[in-house]
């Protein structure tokens, strides 16, 4: 259940209870709850962003701001000029949010405050300012009229479309999804919402509550039944089931063996185990595998490929191995230790850098290679991994059911492959060796769908299975020697 649905369920009951037992404290209670929720959101956005994004206590402040506007907490502005300034500031905040906020920004807090504050200002003052001309325009009012239906329909339609077409929507796909969402919203508004309100707005609530409760109970029951008996309800060929099973790869022992999550590869809320993962040996060369999950996927394969080399693992999710350190502390602390200490220790002879490289980070990656080469390390960079628009096991299984895997190539965005072609000369000029994962997976431009164990080459959008990683690592040069 989404955050909004949870809010719509609990918030009315909260208001009823406060109004019944503490009628004079309604505004104060909503204000305290909103500020408390924002404080929680700030904290969890830093230490556990997923928790901050999906849980009601950390997102309620966004909807609570609207509640404060409804309770007239915002100051009254007698001057039309002041109202104009407030309304246009709100509109500007919304536009800037749409243009500037990117996926790697700290979200929901603090960046979500920009669109939320913008919407609050526009709602509070827009009607009595110059913005009223735009807000009262018939198409704008029409969208507002069906906004709740749009909200209900947009995510199911996007999700179902992505399951068929891939996670990244093309321009044409966005147009199709938008048209389908508006069509469904108009139908439900005129055929369900308005007739329902006309008939039951003044009627007793008991029949409506009973019917709604029965419908919700039936939906939950049907969902639980289908979820627990999915394999019996829909049966697939064994090969398709095998491919589909890789969607649960992170729960398999093979994933833990490959990545070493929670210790040498850490995610949100986890602590890197320095004593276990960065211990060097004096009886053999030491090589450091550094980076994010796209580096962690290769550690085990590298260690097995070079049994006479001690391969240590310095990896954290979302953490590229570059000298311009940025991101969350769990990432920065690991990379700071490696760059400031470990790479300079006696016995460290090589470094393997891998990550989900970003275009803006390439100059820093080049400088990182130069720095490590000045310290006499053999530096190997593994290029970007081929990525699919959705989880590869899902789209591959669907293609197998259709009996046609030829269109898998259409699920490959071109950006990662294009970046691979640009990286090699830059890395080699900086003194490093470069291994192209793209060339291994897609020789002659035709991408392999299965690894050497007959599983899918990827277990999600782009991470390699253990067998696929071993295929790639066979192409590495000697990582301990220059």
Predicted pLDDT of residue 167: 63
Nearest-angstrom CA–CA distance, 293 and 349: 23
Q: Which of 18-27, 100-109, 394-403 has the lowest mean pLDDT?
A: 100-109
Nearest-angstrom CA–CA distance, 474 and 22: 70
Q: What's the pTM?
A: 0.68
Nearest-angstrom CA–CA distance, 72 and 81: 20
CB 41 within 8 A of CB 58: yes
Predicted pLDDT of residue 344: 87
Residue keyed to tokens 């906020």: 101
Predicted pLDDT of residue 127: 86
- Residue 219 corresponds to which tokens in the numbers above? 């939906």
Whether residue 478 is predicted with pLDDT greater than 70 in this model: the reply is yes
Q: Which residues of 435-445 are buried (b: 16+ CB within 10 A; e: fewer)?
A: bbbbbbbbeee
DSSP structural state of residue 464: B
Share of the chain above pLDDT 70, in %: 95
Q: Which of 24-28, 232-236, 342-346 has the lowest mean pLDDT?
A: 232-236
The confidence band for 288, taking pLDDT boundaries of 50, 70 and 90, is very high
User: What is the residue-wise DSSP string for 243-305?
Assistant: HHHGGGGGGSHHHHHHH-BTTTEE-TT----HHHHS---SSS-EEEEEESHHHHHHHHHHHHH
Whether residue 230 is predicted with pLDDT greater than 70 in this model: the reply is no
Helix (H, G, I), strand (E, B) or coil at 372: helix
Nearest-angstrom CA–CA distance, 481 and 477: 9
Residue-wise pLDDT tens digits, 324-372: 877 677 778 888 899 988 888 999 999 999 999 998 999 999 999 999 9
Nearest-angstrom CA–CA distance, 298 and 289: 8
Whether residue 203 is predicted with pLDDT greater than 60 in this model: the reply is no
- Residue 254 corresponds to which tokens in the numbers above? 């093979």
Q: Helix 3-21 and helix 56-70: axis angle, to 10°?
A: 60
User: What is the residue-wise DSSP string for 291-349?
Assistant: ESHHHHHHHHHHHHH-TTSEEEEEEETT----SS--S-HHHHHHHHHHHHTGGGSTTEE
The winner for highest mean pLDDT among 8-17, 165-174, 436-445 is 436-445
Whether residue 47 is predicted with pLDDT greater than 80 in this model: the reply is no
* Domains of the chain in sequence order: 245-473 (3.40.50.1110)
Predicted pLDDT of residue 136: 85
Beta-bridged to residue 291, according to DSSP, are 315, 354
Whether residue 35 is predicted with pLDDT greater than 60 in this model: the reply is yes
């Amino acid at each position: 259940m989404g955050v909004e649905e949870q809010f719509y369920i609990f918030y009315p009951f909260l208001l009823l209870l406060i109004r019944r037992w503490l009628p004079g404290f309604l505004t104060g209670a909503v204000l305290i709850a909103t500020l408390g929720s924002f404080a929680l959101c700030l904290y969890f956005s830093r230490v556990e962003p997923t928790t901050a994004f999906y849980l009601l206590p950390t997102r309620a402040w966004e909807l609570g701001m609207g509640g404060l506007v409804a309770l007239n907490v915002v100051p009254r502005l007698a001057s039309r000029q002041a109202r104009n300034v407030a309304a246009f500031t709100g509109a500007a905040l919304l536009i800037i949010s749409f243009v500037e906020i990117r996926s790697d920004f700290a979200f929901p807090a603090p960046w979500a405050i920009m669109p939320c504050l913008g919407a609050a200002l526009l709602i509070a003052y827009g009607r009595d300012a110059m913005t009223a001309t735009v807000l009262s325009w018939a198409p704008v009012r029409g969208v507002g009229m069906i906004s709740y239906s749009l909200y209900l329909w947009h995510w199911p339609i996007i999700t179902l479309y992505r399951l068929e077409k891939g996670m990244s929507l093309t321009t044409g796909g966005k147009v199709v999804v938008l048209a389908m969402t508006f069509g469904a919203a108009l139908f439900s508004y005129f055929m369900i919402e308005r007739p329902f309100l006309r008939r039951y707005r003044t009627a007793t609530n008991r029949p409506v509550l009973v019917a709604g409760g029965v419908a919700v109970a039936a939906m939950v029951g049907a969902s639980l039944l289908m979820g627990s008996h999915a394999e019996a309800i829909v049966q697939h060929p064994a090969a398709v089931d095998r491919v589909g099973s890789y969607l649960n790869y992170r729960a398999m022992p093979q994933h833990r063996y490959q990545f070493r999550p929670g210790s040498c590869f850490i995610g949100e809320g986890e602590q890197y185990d320095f004593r276990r993962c960065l211990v060097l040996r004096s009886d053999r060369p030491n090589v450091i595998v550094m980076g994010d999950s796209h580096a962690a996927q290769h550690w085990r394969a590298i260690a097995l490929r070079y049994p006479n080399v001690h391969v240590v693992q310095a990896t954290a999710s979302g953490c590229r191995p570059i000298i311009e350190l940025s991101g969350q502390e769990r990432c920065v602390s690991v990379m700071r230790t490696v760059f400031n200490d470990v790479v300079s220790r006696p016995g460290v002879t090589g470094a393997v850098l891998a990550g989900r490289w970003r275009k803006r980070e390439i100059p820093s990656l080049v400088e990182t290679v130069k720095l490590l080469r000045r310290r006499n390390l053999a530096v190997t960079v593994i290029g970007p991994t081929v990525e699919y628009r959705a989880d590869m096991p899902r789209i591959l299984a669907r293609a197998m059911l259709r009996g046609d895997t030829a269109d898998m190539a259409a699920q490959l965005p071109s950006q990662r492959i294009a970046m691979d072609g640009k990286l090699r000369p830059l890395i080699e000029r900086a003194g490093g060796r470069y291994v192209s994962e793209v060339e291994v997976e897609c020789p002659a431009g035709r991408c392999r769908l299965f690894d050497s164990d007959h599983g899918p080459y990827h277990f999600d959008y782009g991470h390699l299975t253990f067998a696929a990683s071993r295929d790639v690592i066979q192409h590495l040069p000697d990582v301990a020697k220059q």
